[in-house]
Amino acid sequence: MEPIKQLYKDSFYKYLAQTSDKPLAIEVGGAEGIYFYDTNKKKYLDLIAGISVCNMGHSHPVILKAVKEQLDKYMHVMVYGELIQQPQVELAEKVCSLLPASLNSVFFVNSGSEAVEGALKLAKRYTGRTGLIHFHNAYHGSSHGAMSMMGNETYKNVFQPLLPDTKAIRFGAEEDLLQITDKTAAIMVEFIQGEAGVRIAPEEYWQKLKQRCEEMKTLLIADEIQTGVGRTGKLFAFEHYNITPDILLLGKAFGGGMPLGAFIADKKVMNVLTRNPVLGHITTFGGHPVCCAAGLAHLKLIIENEMWKNAAAMGEKLEEILWKIPYVQEIRRKGLMIAVDFYDAQTNFTMLHSFLEKGLFSDWFLWCDTAMRIAPPLILEEKNLMEIELAINM
């Protein structure tokens, strides 16, 4: 095969800050549907969707149309919260219509990490408390506040000091729930732990967690940044467990491929950010009208096509195929959120390299480098399954 033509490789390393010393450095030439292409037109079947972002695939024409129409009207006009902007209002109204009645007020931000930051401030301001609880192996973002709620001490220790009065408890351990007290402002949870390698707690655990929060008047913050918008076989992961969080966090897929996040709560809770002090939380670009237009178009597509049902059905079929990968020891899955665990990091990275050579683009997990991440666009079809199986058997 002719070597891939790299037009910007040297400048990539020279001018862009690097996140690791070994980036994949594939130069992207285009993306459409479930595939993206390098500049030599080699096709990759995208098995991670930008880390659970592109749930309707790449370059969906309906989303592109919405973006272009908004571009023709206006882009940034004023910081978030001062002017009435149609895309913001329509997206907020739409997402609230899909949520329990107590989740009725949306604060738009630019990313999942920013949603975490806003939610932490909101919880402390509303409760008047300072205590914050998170879980071992949790991941909520890389900004200082979000990192304070991270459950990997080795990863975050070099950035200390972080937020005070935070505590980690064991995921799924009922006895640890007693550490939620009347001094705890909030506990932040992933109903399905992402970077831990798709870890799932028993259903009854969540009922006991919610009960303890209610007893202690502690806010339950649900991080649905990875799991939301259909990924797990429900529109939101909390629907699997029949409980309603006090604050809901969205990001990643929420923007339909554009940068967008949100924290959502009851109006009586959210309103504390408007006074003492005024502008208790502000953002310049949060709820950017072009991003909201893309997010609304994306969310409508998810709803109209009930894509969470396809995630559940395709996830089950895809799991059967993934068991055919050599040396697989365990597969953990909810919908199209999947971890393929080899119990050995070297084996995992060998398989990832093999997948890449075969045109299958996958990844690993920050806190579980023994497992391969599988989270393709929710538009996955039978023909794609056949393509994946054929590549695995090569």
Q: What is the pLDDT of residue 22?
A: 87
Which positions ≥6 away from 91 have C-beta within 8 Å? Answer: 106, 108, 292, 295, 296, 299
- Its sign, for the CA torsion 295, 233, 337, 159, is positive
Determine what percent of the chain falls in helix, strand and coil, rounding each to the nearest 5.
40, 20, 40
Strand ranges of the sheet holding 28-32, from the earlier edge strand across to the other edge: 28-32, 35-38, 43-46, 360-361
Strands 184-189 and 131-135: parallel
Q: What is the pLDDT of residue 19?
A: 87
Average pLDDT by stretches of 10, the chain with 394 residues: 64 90 91 96 96 98 98 97 97 98 98 98 98 98 96 92 96 97 98 97 96 98 98 98 97 98 98 94 97 98 98 98 97 98 97 97 97 98 97 90
Cβ(244)–Cβ(251) under 8 Å?
no
User: How many C-beta atoms surround the C-beta of residue 46 within 10 A?
Assistant: 22
Q: What is the pLDDT of residue 30?
A: 96
Closest CA to 211 of 260, 252, 254, 178: 178
Angle at 261 between CA 259 and CA 265, to 5 degrees: 165
The continuous run of DSSP H or E covering 373 comes out as: strand 368-374
Cβ(21)–Cβ(360) under 8 Å?
no
Cβ(274)–Cβ(80) under 8 Å?
no
Task: Say if residue 259 is preceded by a cis peptide, omega within 30 of 0.
Answer: no
Q: What is the pLDDT of residue 199?
A: 98
Helices 86-97 and 289-304 cross at an angle (nearest 10°) of: 30
- Residue 261 to residue 80: CA distance in whole angstroms: 13
Q: What is the pLDDT of residue 170?
A: 97
Closest CA to 163 of 131, 195, 122: 131
Buried b (16+ CB within 10 A) or exposed e, 258-297: bbbbbbbbbeebbebbeeeeeeebebebbbbbbbbbbbbb
Q: What is the pTM of this model?
A: 0.96
- Residue 340 to residue 362: CA distance in whole angstroms: 11
Q: What is the pLDDT of residue 3?
A: 47
Q: Is 41 exposed, middle or buried (0-12, 13-18, 19+ CB in 10 A)?
A: exposed
Strands 368-374 and 363-365: antiparallel
Q: Domains of the chain (ranges plus CATH)?
A: 62-304 (3.40.640.10)
Q: What is the pLDDT of residue 174?
A: 97
- Residue 325 to residue 372: CA distance in whole angstroms: 11
- Residue 138 to residue 371: CA distance in whole angstroms: 16
